């Protein structure tokens, strides 16, 4: 799902959480976990592109699914056990419950909208498959992914620099770069 969709859904659910619990802290935790879990995409961006790719391309790269490695460590069903323990240890404190509700909602929506393989949102599944980004892709998108992977291997040189060049080229081909966008220094 896109960020604005997570914000909208989280706003509605956290408002409902507030009216159900009368806990501003719990409602805030519900909203924040429903949205800010996506901060775990930032390290993935830098793992894939290093510092050569300007951060302004962050959303474009993710929406166009131009990722070779996907870790998204907070997007994992295994965290259910940690949340359950936190809720139990806090004696059902509204902030702990709100955090879980926001995280669970976010993950459920992502699983329904983004996942192309059933196990994609299990950390263990991603680990077994080498954290490759192809498991977030449709069958058609996987063909492009494998072509890009082959081109990076054949290109030689630093991996992140080659990925950056290819991604910027693909963004340009798909019309996702503006004329005002400047080339990446040393990257293409």
Condensed to tens digits (0 to 9), the pLDDT of residues 135-171 reads: 887 777 777 777 767 766 666 655 666 677 677 777 6
Q: Is residue 185 part of a domain?
A: no
Q: Is residue 178 part of a domain?
A: no
Q: Is residue 179 part of a domain?
A: no
Residue from 118, 113, 104, 116 nearest 75 by CA: 104
Q: Is residue 112 part of a domain?
A: yes
- Its sign, for the CA torsion 174, 180, 186, 188, is positive
Q: Is residue 97 part of a domain?
A: yes
Between 13-27, 28-42, 69-83, 130-144, the lowest mean confidence (pLDDT) is in 130-144
Give me 141's structure tokens.
């998108």
Q: Is residue 144 part of a domain?
A: yes
Global pTM value: 0.80
Condensed to tens digits (0 to 9), the pLDDT of residues 40-94 reads: 999 998 888 887 777 778 888 887 778 888 999 999 999 999 999 999 999 999 9
Are 28 and 14 spatial neighbours (Cβ–Cβ below 8 Å)?
yes
- Its sign, for the CA torsion 136, 49, 46, 60, is negative
Q: Is residue 32 part of a domain?
A: yes
Containing structural domain, residue 88: 3-173
């Amino acid at each position: 799902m896109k960020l604005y969709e997570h914000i909208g859904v989280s706003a509605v659910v956290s408002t409902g959480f507030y009216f159900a619990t009368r806990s501003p802290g719990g409602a805030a935790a519900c909203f924040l976990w429903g949205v800010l879990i996506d901060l775990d995409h930032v390290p993935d961006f830098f793992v894939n592109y290093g510092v050569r790719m300007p951060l302004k391309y962050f959303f474009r790269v993710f929406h166009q699914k131009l990722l070779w490695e996907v870790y998204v460590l907070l997007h994992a069903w295994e965290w259910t056990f940690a949340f359950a323990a936190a809720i139990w240890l806090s004696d059902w404190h509204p902030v702990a419950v709100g955090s879980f509700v926001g995280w669970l909602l976010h993950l459920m929506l992502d699983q329904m909208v983004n996942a192309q393989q059933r196990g994609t949102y299990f950390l263990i599944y991603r680990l077994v498959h080498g954290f490759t980004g192809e498991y977030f892709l449709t069958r058609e998108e996987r063909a492009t992914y494998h072509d890009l992977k082959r081109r990076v291997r054949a290109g030689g040189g630093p991996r992140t620099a080659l990925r950056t060049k290819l991604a910027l080229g693909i963004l340009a081909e798909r019309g996702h770069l503006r004329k005002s966008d400047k080339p990446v220094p040393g990257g293409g």
